[in-house]
Amino acid sequence: MEIIPAIDVIDGQCVRLSQGRYQDKTVYHKDPLEVAKSFAGAGLTRLHLVDLDGAKAKHVVNWRILERIAHQTDLSIDFGGGVKSDDDLRIVFESGADQATAGSIAATDPALFHRWLDHYGPSKLILGADLKEGKIATHGWQQSTEHGWEAFLTMHTDAGAETVICTDVAQDGMLQGPSSELYRNILETFPSVKLIASGGVSSLSDLQTLRELGCHGAIIGKAIYEGYISLIELERFQYAG
């Protein structure tokens, strides 16, 4: 299972939200590049970089931060937040992202997301499935849709999507454990999906649970910044199994 540390960006700073509420913002570092370098220095190889300004603005905003991290570290970066148009996606890849995560556009304009899958290939596009009260949430979790997760994933896996980041918004930033039952149900229904769990991880035992469920990856954010899990522990866990 891949260990994927997260950096969420607002106003150029490394922040975390609680349950997607922008008003519940905590700033952890003024320079996301320095945080990314600390992840790389600990032997981690992946990064989940989220442009929260872009998610709210409905277009990519913090692409220069992506560019700095991509050019000054060897981290494999997936970038999400504000990827709503062909130009947004082009900017993300030209700025150094290895993958782009698209969630809102997959809900509001599935045909466009499917065209991207055809053009770039499923290895370059990650489907974002953010769930709020059982329904897909969009635009930085500020809006809800009527899409349930099963219909949403069916629509896009039938079109070729292979990798999914699933976040239970209720768990995100709360350090109360991941939504294991949700992930179990998804993997039972879509056994071939590369499922990346996001939200709620607070301990190595949480990561072990996700590994045993068969998750392809796990995103960790607040647990790192609040000192619940050290980078040394994450590196050991990564290479222990």
Q: What are phi and psi of 169, to 5 degrees?
A: -55, -35
Q: CA–CA separation, 221 vs 196, rounded Å? A: 14
Catalytic residue positions, numbered: 8, 130
Q: What are phi and psi of 15, to 5 degrees?
A: -135, 170
Q: Where are the beta strands (DSSP E) in the chain?
A: 2-10, 13-18, 21-29, 46-51, 76-80, 99-102, 125-132, 135-138, 143-148, 163-168, 194-198, 217-220
Q: Who contacts 83 (Cβ-Cβ below 8 Å, separation ≥6)? A: 54, 60, 89, 92, 100, 101, 102, 105
CB 28 within 8 Å of CB 14: yes
Q: What are phi and psi of 122, to 5 degrees?
A: -65, -20
CB 130 within 8 Å of CB 138: yes
The token pair that represents 118 in the structure block: 């055809």
- Tell me which residue has tokens 């997607």: 20
